[in-house]
Structure 1
Amino acid sequence: MTAGMDEITQLALTLPVDQRAQVAKALLASLDDPADSAEVHEAWTAEIKSRVDDITSGRVQTIPHDEVKARLAADRAARQQR
């Protein structure tokens, strides 16, 4: 870390928690590439549409949440007995 970066870091660490969170959020947001963000959004939109189409067409069947939880609990219990 350069001296300037170290100085900024030390200064930021003196801020209250909520202000440090705002600074961290701003710094992380500055790393996002807008082109990547648009591509990711477009890809997720296509994926969601595909999954909805699969469900509405009957190509796939959903599993009720309670059933999924029960299966996971049974799998976990079986692994713990090994």
Structure 2
Amino acid sequence: MAAILKDIEAQALELSPKVRGSLIHRLILSLEGPAEEAPAEIAKAWDTEIARRIADLEAGRSQCIPADEVFAEIDAIIRNTMSEVPLRARGPERVY
């Protein structure tokens, strides 16, 4: 099994970034399985959630956080997580 996975990985790495992204997307979707709700039910659930969030903001139960602060926090989390991953497991060095 490990040899097969290595072969698949080697072949996948030969694909263009765009095709690899498409493959990754399809593989992730295959893990999720079929949607349990119909699209109309999902849209209705999102409408309800959006209305709840707006009501929470207007009532002062929650607050907005500027996007640049959110992205800075995400970047810090990624950097901290990546520093804990052994170099061999990281693959090519990336700048975050």
**TM-score for the superposition, normalised by structure 1:** 0.50
Q: Which runs of 4+ in 1 moved over 3 A?
A: none
- Give ranges in structure 1 of 5+ residues lacking alignment: 1-35
- Give ranges in structure 2 of 5+ residues lacking alignment: 1-37, 85-96
AA matched with 1:46: T
Equivalent in 49, 67, 70 of residue 68 of structure 1: 70
Q: Pairwise CA RMSD of aligned residues? A: 1.8
Q: Does 1:52 align with 2:54?
A: yes
**Secondary structure class of the residue paired with 2:78:** helix
Q: Does 1:78 align with 2:80?
A: yes
Identity of aligned residues (%): 38
The change in CA–CA distance for 1:71 and 1:39 in structure 2 (over 3 A counts) is same
Q: Which protein, 1 or 2, shows the higher relative CO under an 8 Å CA cutoff with sep ≥ 6? A: 2
Give the CA deviation at 1:81: 1.1
Aligned length: 48
**TM-score for the superposition, normalised by structure 2:** 0.44
Answer 1 or 2: which has greater helix percent.
Answer: 1
Give the CA deviation at 1:40: 2.7
AA matched with 2:42: V
Higher-Rg structure is: 1
